[in-house]
Amino acid sequence: MEPYYYTLESLIKIVVVVTVLMLGVAYLTLIERKFLGFLQVRLGPNRVGFWGLLQPIADGIKSFVKEDIIPDNADKTVYVIAPMITFVTAISMFAVIPFGDSFTLFGRNIKLVIADIDIGLLYIFALGTLGEYGVVLGGWASSNKYAVLGSLRAAAQMISYEVALGLILIGTIILAGSLRLTEIVEAQRNGWFILYQPFAFLLYLVASLAEINRTPFDMPESESELACGFNVEYSSMKFALFMIAEYAHLVTVAALTITLFFGGWLGPFLPGPIWFIGKTLVMIFILIWIRGTYPRMRYDHIMKLGWKFLFPAALANVVITALFVALR
Amino acid sequence: MGAIGFKFVVFIVAALLVIVSSLLMTTRKNPIHSALWMIVTFFAMAVIYLLLNAQFIAVAQIMVYAGAIMMLILFVIMMVSLDNGAQEQKRFPMAMGTRLSWALVVVVLLVELMFAALFYQATAKVGSYPAEAVASLGNAKTMGMLLYGKYIFPFEIASILLLVGIIGAVVLSRKNK
């Protein structure tokens, strides 16, 4: 019977996580627009419902009923598949992030994580690289020169920042001695990793912003030069899928940051999931704040920053952390 | 359905997917489609690695091959031919002798494969890292201990080779001044 119970338990966790994530993403769009509005001394959306609270629902309905256009010259299969790739990879990343302690229910020890796998962090990296295919292929399949330019930029940017991102996190992995995210959280019981790795945290913030293509690194879709880049030809629900994936990525990056540097769900008094959601929200807030503060960087500056600063700095961080751990 | 039956079904599906997608990869006219089918092949291979209890290899396969390397290949294809990646078709005229010898090579390889599959028998000798030992120690940890312990010498040689490759690429791509 064990496999059935296991399947049931996993299914329940998946349904809960995806529901919370989707609701979170829907309202994240509102939060971001509101907060960006306040940062720019305007009100943000405030027409649909009280304080604009029904805006995400209105946006959803609008996306559903809009005409779905596929350009004549588009590579139809790839054009349809591209948003799906981005969406699926963005959501599945959440499977390995622990959001609470384990507890016993009906004699079963239930861990509050969907898949507690040995190679959790690598799994997230793998999905991150795959997610970029959606952006690259979507732009290419639209057969629009702006879109192709956007996807070329996305590919180059991803290749450059992936390397640094992996190297930055090696410091954390050395400290925790594991790639399993539950063990990384557990290792932070006596002190969050931000205390040991403040420099790595800053580097990680920069690299992950570049990885999810957000301002100041939103080269693939820079509105002012590429007219929205890779998704310029997309409309209706396909466009919405790209948007949902982008916000799901944002949530994942925030959740991963707090898992790696701020002790994950650990915290006094309150239960784990509440700490987890609270910390993630604060992190998301900081990410939106960065978007509201910095202008878009020029393309060659982004490349230079990636290869000539982030990469050597990450290497130095690895060496120093390893030395510190070895001498301790 | 028991646990073994389920694994068997997954294996058959993954194996068929590998064969079909690699066939499609070689027969597509559009180079980008070929690259995409290659990614599918890598994915199905990763599933087979997972069935063999090699999670680390499976994820490394997806991350390095399906992720980074294929992204580079796609990048190059898109850079070289921006017109939808479609190339004009060139027919390579092949002499009858060449065709026959290629066919012969393929037939010999196929027969070899069938013989191997039919007559090869597992020795039933358990290696020093069976699935249970790896599971108790952790997959990444086992890999790390082997790479940096027992196989440190080949590992270092491989790293030096890669370093030479990097330096060579830098030298080649540098503009002459």
Sequence-separated (6 or more) residues with CB below 8 Å from residue B116: none
Q: Does A19 touch chain B (CB under 8 A)?
A: no
Domain containing residue A264: 71-101+117-327
- Same-domain status, B3 and B81: yes
Return the closest-CA partner of residue A160 out of A82, A73, A219. A219
**B78 to A152: CB separation less than 8 angstroms, yes or no:** yes
Residue B46's closest chain A neighbor by CA?
A126
Say whether A126 and B59 touch across the interface (CB within 8 A).
Answer: yes
> Alpha-carbon distance B87 to B80, whole Å?
10
Q: Which domain holds residue B13?
A: 1-85
Rounded Cα distance, B158 and B109, in Å: 30
Q: Does B151 fall in a domain?
A: yes
The torsion angles phi and psi of A109, rounded to 5 degrees, stand at: -85, 110
Note whether B56 contacts A: Cβ–Cβ < 8 A: yes
**Least Cα separation, residue B71 to chain A (angstroms):** 7
Q: Grade residue B88 by pLDDT with cuts at 50, 70 and 90.
A: low
Q: Does B4 touch chain A (CB under 8 A)?
A: no
Which residues in chain B have Cβ-Cβ distances shorter than 8 Å to A159? Answer: 68, 71-72, 75
A26 falls within a domain: no
pLDDT for A326 equals 84
Asked which of B29, B54, B85 is the last residue of a domain, the reply is B85
Interface membership of A176 toward B (CB under 8 Å): no
Inside any domain, residue A205: yes
Selecting from B32, B56, B71 the residue whose C-beta is nearest the C-beta of A119 gives B56
pLDDT at B90 over 60: no
Mutation test of the interface with chain A: which of B40, B78, B142, choosing the one with the most A Cβ atoms within 10 A? B78
Rounded to whole angstroms, the Cα distance separating A25 from B82 reads 35
Taking an 8 Å cut-off on Cβ atoms, the answer to whether B3 and A123 are in contact is no
Q: Which of A59-73, A146-160, A222-236, B96-110 has the lowest mean pLDDT?
A: A222-236
Is residue A126 within 8 A of residue B59, CB to CB? The reply is: yes
The residue-averaged pLDDT of B136-164 equals 86
Task: Give yes or no: residues B7 and B81 share one domain.
Answer: yes
Q: CA separation (Å) from B50 to A96, B59, B131, B159, B160?
A: 16, 9, 11, 26, 30
Q: What is d(CA A93, CA A84) in angstroms, rounded to the nearest whole number?
A: 14
Q: What is the pLDDT of residue B27?
A: 85
Report helix, strand or coil for A232. coil
Residue A227: per-residue pLDDT = 66
The answer to whether residue B116 is domain-embedded is no
Tell me the DSSP string of A123-185.
HHHHHHHHHHHHHHHHHHHTT-HHHHHHHHHHHHHHHHHHHHHHHHHHHHHHHHT-S-HHHHH
What pLDDT is attached to residue B167?
A: 92
Cα–Cα distance measured from residue A131 to residue A250, given in angstroms and rounded to the nearest whole number = 13
Q: What is the ipTM of this complex?
A: 0.77
Contact between chains at B68 and A159 (C-beta distance less than 8 A) = yes
Pull the structure tokens for residue B8: 């068997």
Q: What is residue A47's three-state secondary structure?
A: coil
**Beta-carbon separation of B75 and A152 below 8 A:** yes
> A266 — alpha (psi -120 to 50), left (phi > 0) or beta?
beta
Per-residue pLDDT at B85 = 44
Whether A254 shows a pLDDT value over 60: the answer reads yes
A180 contacts chain B (CB < 8 A):
yes
CB A182 within 8 A of CB A109: no
**Domain membership flag for residue B113:** no
Nearest Cβ partner of B63 from A122, A140, A179?
A122
User: Is A16 inside any structural domain?
Assistant: no
Report the Cα A186 to chain-centroid distance in Å: 22
Boundary-marking domain end, from B85, B113, B139? B85
* ∠ CA B84-A149-B81, rounded to 5°: 30
Question: Among A38-47, A103-112, B44-53, which stretch is predicted with the lowest mean pLDDT?
Answer: A103-112
Residue B123 placed within a domain? no
Which amino acid is residue A240, in one-letter code? A
Closest CA to A185 of A87, A247, A102: A102
Classify each residue of B110-140 as buried b or exposed e, where b means 16 or more C-beta atoms within 10 Å of its C-beta.
eeeeeeeeeeeeeeeeeeeeeeeebeeebbb
Q: Which of A179, A183, A311 is best to mutate for the B interface (most B CBs within 10 A)?
A: A179
The number of domains in chain A is 1
Contacts of A143 in chain B (CB under 8 A): 84
**pLDDT of A110 higher than 80:** no
Q: What is the three-class DSSP state of A213?
A: coil
Q: How far apart are CA A207 and CA A74, in angstroms?
A: 32
Look at residue A191 and tell me if it is in a domain. yes
CA distances (Å), origin B61, targets A171, A251, B55, B57, B151: 23, 26, 10, 6, 20
Which residue in A153, A276, A160, A167 sits closest to A220, CA to CA?
A: A153
Specify which of A64-73, A198-207, B90-99 reaches the highest per-range mean pLDDT.
A198-207
For residue B93, the one-letter residue type is P
B144 and B72 within one domain: no
Please provide the DSSP assignment of A51-120 as one string: GGTTHHHHHHHHHHHS-----TTS-HHHHHHHHHHHHHHHHHGGGG---S--EEETTEEE-SSS---TTH
The type of residue at B20 is V
Nearest to A129 among B71, B138, B141 (CB): B71
Cβ-defined contact of B71 to A158 (cutoff 8 Å): yes
Which residue from B32, B68, B79 is facing A152, i.e. has the nearest CB? B79
Structure letter (DSSP) for residue A298? P
Mutate to test the interface with A, among B30, B63, B73 (most CBs of A within 10 A): B63
Q: CB contact, 8 Å: A217 with chain B?
A: no
A154 → chain B, closest CA residue: B75
Is A61 within a domain?
A: no
CB of A261 closer than 8 Å to CB of A191: no
Over range A136-154, report the average pLDDT: 81
d(CA A267, CA A245) in angstroms, rounded, equals 29
Contacts of B55 in chain A (CB under 8 A): 117-119
The pLDDT confidence band at residue A224, using thresholds 50, 70 and 90, is low
CATH number at residue B23: 1.20.120.1200
Q: Show the tokens assigned to A298.
A: 């020029």
Cross-strand partners of A103: A110
Total structural domains within chain B: 2
* Structure tokens given for B21: 């997608």
Angle between helices A76-92 and A236-261 (to 10 degrees): 30
With a cut of 50, say whether residue B11 has pLDDT above it.
Answer: yes
Q: Residue B140 corresponds to which tokens in the numbers above? A: 């990444």
* Residue A246 falls inside a structural domain: yes
**Is A123 touching B (CB cutoff 8 A)?**
yes
- B126, pLDDT greater than 90: no
> Quick check: A89 pLDDT over 80?
yes
Question: Is A33 within the bounds of a domain?
Answer: no
pLDDT at residue A20, as a whole number: 87
**Domain final position from B53, B85, B117:** B85
| Contact residues on chain B for A123, CB-CB shorter than 8 A | 59
CB contact (8 A) between residue A119 and residue B59 = yes
Tell whether B102 is within 8 A of chain A (Cβ). Answer: no
Better-scored residue on pLDDT, A225 or A285: A285
- The number of C-beta contacts closer than 8 angstroms across A and B is 81
Please say whether the beta carbons of B30 and B78 come within 8 A: no
Q: How far is B67 from chain A (nearest CA, A)?
A: 5
Give the mean pLDDT of A137-161.
Answer: 81
| Amino acid at site A301 | H
Across the interface, whether the CB atoms of B85 and A140 are under 8 A apart is answered yes
The predicted pLDDT at position A297 comes to: 80
Least confident of A17-26, A109-118, B153-162: A109-118
